[in-house]
Structure 1
Amino acid sequence: MVFLPLTCAVVIISCVYGRPPLPPLPTKDGCYLVDPEVATFRVEGEAVILSFPIFSHVLEKRNIAPPTAEYSITKDNEMEGTNYQGEGRVQQQDNQLWLLPALASDSGKYTCTYRNETYCVTGSIKLHVYEPTLVDMKKLTHKVTAAVGETLTLECPSLRNFNKTDSMIEWYKDSNTTAPPAGRAGSFQQHRGKLMIPAVKRTHAGIYTCKLRVRINNQQYKVSRVYLLHVQGPDPEITTKSTVPNISVTSDPGLISTSTVNTPIVQPPVIVSPLNGTVFESPHGSGLKLFCQVLTECQTADSTEVTWLVNSQTVESSYLDKRALQGGRRVTRVSKGCQIELRLIVEPITEEDEKSELKCVTQNKGGRREVVAQLRLEDSTFTWVVVAAGAVISFLTVVSVFLYVLFKPRRKKNRDYFLARQSSTF
């Protein structure tokens, strides 16, 4: 009876002074644990800056800033973590790790810890650095899907940590030696480092690489990013029967038998969640974590692409670039095939996000699917008024019951005593 009024009082105080406290973070080895960052894939020989945006957002959102705390970045290995200093090829600069340049041996898991004598928060990120001759383009590419006739703008992604003021971004298509033709007469235009395609055609599909040189500590380094552009989707493959020669050893050397070969049908992927027309509501200043879940055949899971678009633009090219993180692709086997899950984190939510269009797009050889959802700012004032009213009513009800039990008349007990005494007299 005492716990409920205290709970109501906490809710009322929370309503008066702001939102209730955020749920506690999980702990490990005495430290609060933050969700891991989206894995990073880079090429050997280029400058790499590892940052921890999810980790930084959590510190800012929860107002965690002990005055004497310091950042420490270590690389995990079998024996013990390696601490980095502010100089040399690998440098720690506050809450970032600079690799100037990166080597294939730098691949691994890096942990960022923010601690003092009494407080500790930790986050992690995985880095994969490929040798130029062994580059895995599937891992390096930022996937984009566009429809024929659509206007598309590509912006060199994930470069916010580099100073690009003195650098010119160059774009190349498919080959590292051929830049797409620019100008009004061509099908490509370049403006302030962005590559624009006024009207997308099927022939525009392919790999686009943006390259630039950056200057760090008076030294020049190469940086590049890769896009894989898909234009619409090829028509689903249809099962056909064809007769082909079947050469086999027979008693008659001149005899060639024939057999029928079936071409398998590739089914298009199915978006399980979110549903088309879903509205995601979130209060101002809070974070939002979204998941696009796609069901496909397991043999086509690796080649099935899933991506998020913001107002028909890639996340990196949209206005949410600095507040949204896309990644964490995960494939799990389910009863009906394999499910692909792609995460999108947006924080904090602001008035600018009201009615923004979020689109989940998936595609494989069988076809293309997409669903459209919408961001909406939750009316927190009305919500907290309702919660506060409910809390007050609950609190007053509990208090009324408690007072009634405490001061309830005890006439029945006196009457029983009187009747018992009268019976004993008789």
Structure 2
Amino acid sequence: MVCLELMSAVVIVACAYGQPPLPPLPMKDGCHYLDSELEVVRMEGEAVILNFPIFTRVLEKRKIGSPTATYLISKNNGTDGATFRAEGRVQQHDKELWLLPARASDSGEYICTYRNETYCVTGNITLHVYESSSVNMRKLSYGWPVAVGEEVKFSCQPLCCFNNTDGPVDWYKDSNPKALQPGRGGSLRRDGGALIIPAAMQSHAGLYTCRLKVLINNQQYNVSRSFMLMVEAPNVPPPVIVSPLNGTIFESSHGSGLELSCQVLTECPMADFTLVTWLVNGQSVESSYLDKRALQGGRRVTGVSEGCRIEQRLVIAEITDGDEKTEIKCVTENKGGKREAVIQLQLEDSTLTWLVVGAVAVSCLVTVVSIFLYVLFKPKGKKKMDYFLARQNSTFSF
């Protein structure tokens, strides 16, 4: 009976107001308190704006607010909190705290308190400011997991917090000091301050950082955000190198050319996402000592009964003595894994070659001399004598 009455009350309230009443907020030290905001991690020397999104949404949802209410942001030092004004390096502007710029000593818990004549609500957020000299960029990044082939769009979050920006937004990957540029074939695109990867591949995984400069009160500050892109690969078998076999030794003579072909077998849907390349002594062909004499290319994909076969050729125009024992490696990789096949160049033994040539030459010489001597000293036969038979008792007359 009691349950039915409670259910009826909920239904009546829902019908009257369109939704059930919100549960009361927990109390602490005479003030309602909210769950902690997500922690914020920033780099020393950059401009930082701390806001309290959960705190703000709760006030709006519960329609809490009045012209006479006050917002107070303080730093929790374990005793009395330090408060801030709208001037100086650390400034409070309504429900935001501006640090211009942030220092490592600013790390800690910050509390935002809303208070009017009858109501009090508090929220808190934790800020970590790392020194630039010892910062671990992974701590400054937001995890961004995606599946292979999924579109990724990184928005430079500082743009939503700072109204006045000065200059372009530059994007960087990992520790490369050179800013990213739109890729060939649309592999990377720019949309204002956003960076777009139309179809993520495992090679796209890594740390992406946007950097820009902002103007606050006519003073310029640096701002950055980092995202750790994690490209999740489904369970697919790794590619298989059909040819060449690992450990193969290729013999070539000095001055001759050599053409190698790496043939890889993979699933056809993965063919376009499968890398096949050649390395020379662990370096790319273009970066190796063979750069002027070698060229890789001619990638070809062919459908076979087992899947798709990918062929990548490597042509060496001329083999020299310096190529002896050179290690050449075919490497293939896709989201299923990585495979390698190592081969070695070896020059044919010139001593053995000359021995063979010499033996053939001596054999030919002996044959010629033998024929000459045979012709020269060939035994002569007896001359054939002319004769006729005469009958006995024959008489000749003249």
TM bracket (short chain): 0.5 to 0.7
1:53 equivalenced with 2:53 (yes/no)? yes
Contact 1:107–1:126 (CA under 8 A) maintained in structure 2: yes
TM-score relative to the length of structure 2: 0.55
1:37 equivalenced with 2:72 (yes/no)? no
**2:98 aligns to what?**
98
Contact 2:186–2:198 (CA under 8 A) maintained in structure 1: no
Specify whether residues 218 and 6 from structure 1 end up closer, same or farther in structure 2 by C-alpha distance, changes over 3 A only.
same
**1:122 aligns to what?**
122
My pick for the range that moved more, 189-198 or 88-97, is: 189-198
Task: Give structure 1 stretches of 5+ with no counterpart.
Answer: 237-365, 368-426
Deviation digits for residues 181-209 of structure 1 (CA, Å, limit 9, x no counterpart): 32545632222111122333332221111
**1:179 aligns to what?**
179
**1:89 aligns to what?**
89
What is the deviation of 1:159? 4.0
**1:74 aligns to what?**
74
Contact 2:13–2:21 (CA under 8 A) maintained in structure 1: no
Specify whether residues 18 and 197 from structure 1 end up closer, same or farther in structure 2 by C-alpha distance, changes over 3 A only.
closer
1-side partners of 2:12 and 2:149: how far apart?
55
**2:232 aligns to what?**
232
What secondary structure, in the 3-state scheme, does the structure 2 residue paired with 1:132 have? coil
Task: Give structure 2 stretches of 5+ with no counterpart.
Answer: 237-335, 338-398
Specify whether residues 11 and 189 from structure 1 end up closer, same or farther in structure 2 by C-alpha distance, changes over 3 A only.
closer
Over the aligned positions, Cα root-mean-square deviation in angstroms equals: 3.1
2-side partners of 1:14 and 1:102: how far apart?
47
2-side partners of 1:9 and 1:116: how far apart?
30
Specify whether residues 132 and 166 from structure 1 end up closer, same or farther in structure 2 by C-alpha distance, changes over 3 A only.
closer
The amino acid of 1:144's aligned partner reads W
Specify whether residues 133 and 4 from structure 1 end up closer, same or farther in structure 2 by C-alpha distance, changes over 3 A only.
same
What is the deviation of 1:81? 0.3
My pick for the range that moved more, 142-151 or 70-79, is: 142-151
What is the deviation of 1:8? 3.8
The amino acid of 1:64's aligned partner reads I
Contact 1:210–1:225 (CA under 8 A) maintained in structure 2: yes
Contact 2:73–2:110 (CA under 8 A) maintained in structure 1: yes
What secondary structure, in the 3-state scheme, does the structure 1 residue paired with 2:35 have? coil
Contact 1:146–1:231 (CA under 8 A) maintained in structure 2: yes
Specify whether residues 149 and 10 from structure 1 end up closer, same or farther in structure 2 by C-alpha distance, changes over 3 A only.
closer
My pick for the range that moved more, 90-99 or 16-25, is: 16-25
1-side partners of 2:154 and 2:203: how far apart?
16
Specify whether residues 182 and 9 from structure 1 end up closer, same or farther in structure 2 by C-alpha distance, changes over 3 A only.
closer
**1:241 aligns to what?**
none
What secondary structure, in the 3-state scheme, does the structure 2 residue paired with 1:182 have? coil
Contact 1:214–1:222 (CA under 8 A) maintained in structure 2: yes
The amino acid of 1:88's aligned partner reads G
Deviation digits for residues 325-361 of structure 1 (CA, Å, limit 9, x no counterpart): xxxxxxxxxxxxxxxxxxxxxxxxxxxxxxxxxxxxx
2-side partners of 1:90 and 1:14: how far apart?
45
What is the deviation of 1:66? 2.8
What is the deviation of 1:19? 1.9
Specify whether residues 82 and 176 from structure 1 end up closer, same or farther in structure 2 by C-alpha distance, changes over 3 A only.
farther
**2:217 aligns to what?**
217
What secondary structure, in the 3-state scheme, does the structure 2 residue paired with 1:79 have? coil
1:161 equivalenced with 2:161 (yes/no)? yes
Specify whether residues 2 and 222 from structure 1 end up closer, same or farther in structure 2 by C-alpha distance, changes over 3 A only.
closer
Contact 1:181–1:187 (CA under 8 A) maintained in structure 2: no
1-side partners of 2:164 and 2:219: how far apart?
14
My pick for the range that moved more, 209-218 or 166-175, is: 166-175
**1:192 aligns to what?**
192
Q: Pairwise mapping of residues 311-330 of structure 1 onto structure 2 (< 5 A)?
A: none
Q: Pairwise mapping of residues 171-320 of structure 1 onto structure 2 (< 5 A)?
A: 171-175=171-175, 177-184=177-184, 187-233=187-233
Specify whether residues 234 and 27 from structure 1 end up closer, same or farther in structure 2 by C-alpha distance, changes over 3 A only.
same
Q: Pairwise mapping of residues 307-386 of structure 1 onto structure 2 (< 5 A)?
A: none
